[in-house]
Amino acid sequence: MSISQPRHIALAGNPNCGKTSLFNQLTGSRQKVGNYAGVTVERKVGFFNTPRNTPIRVLDLPGAYSLSSTSPDEDITRDICLGRHPAEQQPDLLIGVIAASNLRLHLRFLLELKQIGRPVIVALNMMDEAEKAGLTIDVEGLSAALDMPVIPIVSLHKQGIAPLLAQLDAEITPPSPLPENTNFHVEVRRLIEEFVKQPATPRERLTDQLDRWTLHPVFGPLILLGILFIMFQTVFAWAQPIMDALGNGLNALGAWLLAPLPDGMLHSLLADGVVAGAGTVVVFLPQILILFLWIITLEESGYLPRAAFLLDRVMAMAGLSGRSFIPLLSSFACAIPGIMAARTIQNPRDRLVTILIAPLMTCSARLPVYTLLIGAFVPRHTVLGFMNLQGLVLFGLYAAAIISGIIAARIMTHGVASQEHPLLLELPPYRRPLLRSVALGLWQRAVMFLSRVGTIIVSLNVLLWGLSSFPLPPAHAAGAAIDYSIAGRIGHLMQPIFAPLGFNWQICVALIPGLAAREVAISSLATVYAIGTTDDDAGDKLLPILSSQWSMATAFALLAWYVYAPQCISTLAVMRRETRSLKVVLGAAAYLFGLAYLAAFLTHYITLKTL
């Protein structure tokens, strides 16, 4: 029995034309989509079968405005389409995805694909938005003029997918190329004039009405500030009841699991290493999901490019352009996709500086550290009758990170010549976020977070439990047993270095596994304090233990440390891959470590002097 080889095809088009949405519909994948340019910066591979059971291998290529690439993500698209990529063969067929609502921009790139000499099928996406705008497109006439099959689709709602799949079973020949020296802009105008009927009086879109406010030079920044302010308020206000219920449930589950086990090493391992470590981190899941509910909603709605436009002047103060905003915003979820998203920046200097300051943006892994310390040391007071004080402190920590990033970028770009690229942004229409997409995004984040808890965090805490439990103290030893363990000795060895920051030896121990993942610092503290005390429930009572044993200066210094803390190892690895320079990685780690130490020292000193 012979096994037929898959046919190779690729999805190509401008950014934010719906390629990844179509890729998900064809393959059943759940790749991230967003209503802004630059979501896809790396090729993605998927497989599916056509109605006639032809196996297909499909690539989702990064968005590009031209095959004359100007950024690393566009280089990938150009090289694969032209057959120059070292790891990918040239596709047998291209699916040119274009937005029916923005043909003036998207048709130009399609004409470039036409010149390659490969078969092309045109997926005319977003037909629903074109109809809302009053556009009437002569699909058959356009297909004949382009010499390519044109299939109208609405990829978000699976409309037109079946005809597109059927077209893949047909014999497609390469389109006739345009004569050399054809002016693509003139050709696009001709195609639109001939095959697209526009209303005599263009309808005013809801997007235009909203943009009068969201892009207003005065009200726009105020609206952006208000959205961010409310976002951080809700992280505390909405999550607390769910966190309390989750914490009680985890405590009951831990007690039920441990009840049959007699005291001993196995009981200690499960109670202090697994339950105390993992349970302390899992309880922060509601806050992380609320933060991502906001981020995903803003992504899906199309507001993010507006925020980039509004912040172009702020980014200019840092010597960058608004193009750096999307990578930096992505870094609030995790620095790794943020650093990868910097590929969309054309200017090499701006791209490098964006990569270097991306770890300063507050990733979600910091949130458990922040909320634990804020919950322990900041009272739940209401300010001015409607503002949560804990939410205000959290907002201040995020603001401190952003301001520090701007200052750091300003210093890095000072005196370095820049080839200025003006910010050109394609503003997508506002769209109502799809409940299914939002729920899927939250589900993926929850699975990702719990997977980290079940793998990295539990593994590191079991390791830390072993280091904190062995060797056993000598007979008749005075003091806590953990002082004689490997972890205890390492902590005491490190303490003189961190004593000026107010850090005790337990914090020093927690900083080490925190390099693998920041939230591990919290579970590590729970394990260290659980082993170091005779209270069997110490792991469940980390918050009151910290508030009674730490000074406020120490807590604030640790918060300041984690605003600038040296990034996790995975981030360093991605930075090395993207910059191809070990020197850059070592320099980034050194400057972040120096900033963290200086900020924690100043915070500790000032707090001691003022409180």
Is residue 347 within 8 A of residue 419, CB to CB? The reply is yes
Q: What is the pLDDT of residue 538?
A: 47
Is residue 303 within 8 A of residue 309, CB to CB? The reply is no
Model pLDDT for residues 170-190, shown as the tens digit of each residue? 989 999 999 988 999 999 999
Angle ∠(326,328,331) on CA atoms, nearest 5: 110
358 C-beta neighbours (distance < 10 Å), count: 31
> Among 118-127, 400-409, 568-577, where is mean pLDDT lowest?
568-577
Model pLDDT for residues 35-80, shown as the tens digit of each residue? 555 566 677 899 999 999 999 999 999 989 889 877 888 888 999 9
Quick one: which of 35, 34, 31 has its CA closest to 46?
A: 31
**Cα–Cα distance for residue pair 224/216, rounded to 1 Å:** 11
Is residue 281 within 8 A of residue 288, CB to CB? The reply is no
| H or E element that contains 7 | strand 7-13
pLDDT surpassing 90 at residue 214: yes
Structure tokens at 528: 């260290």
Please report where in the chains the tokens 């972040």 appear, as a residue: 592
Q: What is the pLDDT of residue 41?
A: 64
Please report where in the chains the tokens 């079940």 appear, as a residue: 454
- The full DSSP string for 20-66 is HHHHHHHH-------SSTTS--S-EEEEEE-TT--EEEEEEPPP-S-
Q: What is the pLDDT of residue 100?
A: 95
Quick one: which of 550, 562, 505, 542 has its CA closest to 279?
A: 542
Report CA torsion sign: 251, 253, 256, 258: negative
Is residue 390 within 8 A of residue 374, CB to CB? The reply is yes
Beta bridge partners of 152: 124
Model pLDDT for residues 388-424, shown as the tens digit of each residue? 888 889 889 988 998 999 999 999 988 776 665 566 6
Instruction: Provide mean pLDDT across the span 479-493.
Output: 84
**Cα–Cα distance for residue pair 303/34, rounded to 1 Å:** 10
Q: In percent, how much of the chain has pLDDT > 90? A: 39
Instruction: Provide mean pLDDT across the span 503-514.
Output: 88
Is residue 538 within 8 A of residue 276, CB to CB? The reply is yes
**Cα–Cα distance for residue pair 318/121, rounded to 1 Å:** 43
pLDDT category at 162 given cuts 50, 70, 90 is very high
541 C-beta neighbours (distance < 10 Å), count: 17
Model's pTM, two decimal places?
0.76
Structure tokens at 268: 């200690």
Quick one: which of 125, 92, 104 has its CA closest to 26?
A: 125
> Among 328-332, 403-407, 504-508, 546-550, where is mean pLDDT lowest?
328-332
Model pLDDT for residues 278-324, shown as the tens digit of each residue? 877 888 889 888 888 988 898 889 898 888 788 877 888 888 877 78
428 CB contacts (<8 Å, ≥6 apart)?
16, 35, 36, 302, 305
pLDDT category at 2 given cuts 50, 70, 90 is very low
Strand 7-13's sheet: what is its strand order? 44-49, 55-60, 7-13, 93-99, 120-125, 150-152
pLDDT category at 356 given cuts 50, 70, 90 is very high
Q: What is the pLDDT of residue 482?
A: 78
| H or E element that contains 196 | strand 196-197
What is the C-alpha end-to-end distance of the chain, expressed in Å? 80
Q: What is the pLDDT of residue 40?
A: 62
How do beta strands 196-197 and 136-137 pair? antiparallel
Angle ∠(60,66,68) on CA atoms, nearest 5: 115
For the purposes of burial, counting CB atoms within 10 Å of the CB of 464, is it exposed (0-12), middle (13-18) or buried (19 or more)?
buried
Structure tokens at 199: 């209303």
1 C-beta neighbours (distance < 10 Å), count: 2
Mean pLDDT of the chain: 86
Sketch out the chain's domains with CATH numbers. 7-199 (3.40.50.300)
Instruction: Provide mean pLDDT across the span 252-277.
Output: 84
Quick one: which of 564, 544, 559, 566 has its CA closest to 607?
A: 559
pLDDT surpassing 70 at residue 1: no
Instruction: Provide mean pLDDT across the span 532-537.
Output: 53
DSSP strands (E only) in 65-184? 93-99, 120-125, 136-137, 150-152
**Cα–Cα distance for residue pair 465/274, rounded to 1 Å:** 9
510 C-beta neighbours (distance < 10 Å), count: 25
Q: What φ, ψ does residue 122 adopt, rounded to 5°?
A: -95, 120
